[in-house]
Chain A
Amino acid sequence: DAGVIQSPRHEVTEMGQEVTLRCKPISGHNSLFWYRQTMMRGLELLIYFNNNVPIDDSGMPEDRFSAKMPNASFSTLKIQPSEPRDSAVYFCASSLSGSSYNEQFFGPGTRLTVL
């Protein structure tokens, strides 16, 4: 298996532009998580899905952020409009949820720079 796939790996954009980050989870996994990592705030959970349904989006910073999971093999995180303070590394992770308390598998991340 190729693991969790994220694209793009790097994104540089100007303030006010729309940014879309993409994630393909590991086949067979039914939970998907979006995280943001910065030096100041560490690793933050933004939103997570179970069986394609958003379960907890309390970590989404504000309405400029939105996430979708149209099917079991694809998810997007969109920022519109982007701001410099959104600059961070965004990680997607997936797991097989249930009663086994399984670990999450992380993608390589997307490094976003908003100028």
Chain B
Amino acid sequence: AQSVAQPEDQVNVAEGNPLTVKCTYSVSGNPYLFWYVQYPNRGLQFLLKYITGDNLVKGSYGFEAEFNKSQTSFHLKKPSALVSDSALYFCALMNRDDKIIFGKGTRLHILP
């Protein structure tokens, strides 16, 4: 069965520090992985995706994610956090039917 897990409900980071939001997955076959962000009272917004190729994927707002096949992980990272990065972040896995399985979300708090 396919699944995606976000082990942390909340992550707190000081402004200017690097941030990491963790995601692990389970899938038979090739993984197609996504990160989305949700700001308060808004719908989810696409940040980046990994389909194939380079393991380091760059996305919107300075975010990047590293695909690690041996660890079945797809952690979201940013070198220097901004207060405006505070939001709810979702990792997601797509199956062959274009159906996306979302993680439960990680709330990121950037402390000024």
Contact = CB atoms under 8 A, between A and B. Distances in A.
B102 A42 contact: yes
Given A42-B102, A43-B90, A104-B100, A4 B43 contact: yes
Interface string A83-115: 000000001010101101111111111000000
Interface residues of A, number: 25
A108 B97 CA distance: 24
B34 A107 contact: no
A45 B94 contact: no
B26 interface: no
**Which of B32, B41, B42, B99 has the largest number of chain A CB atoms within 10 A?**
B99
B46 A105 contact: yes
Contact of B98 (A43, A50, A106): A50
Contacts of A33: 100
A31 interface: yes
- The A interface is mostly helix, strand or loop, or mixed, namely strand
A31 B45 CA distance: 17
A101 B94 contact: yes
A43 B102 contact: yes
Interface in B22-78: 32, 34, 36, 41-46, 49, 51
B49 A103 contact: yes
Interface of B: 32, 34, 36, 41-46, 49, 51, 90, 94, 97-100, 102, 104-105
Given A48-B99, A55-B97, 17 more contacts: A43-B44, A43-B90, A43-B104, A43-B105, A45-B100, A45-B102, A48-B98, A56-B99, A95-B98, A97-B98, A100-B51, A104-B46, A104-B100, A106-B44, A107-B43, A108-B43, A109-B43
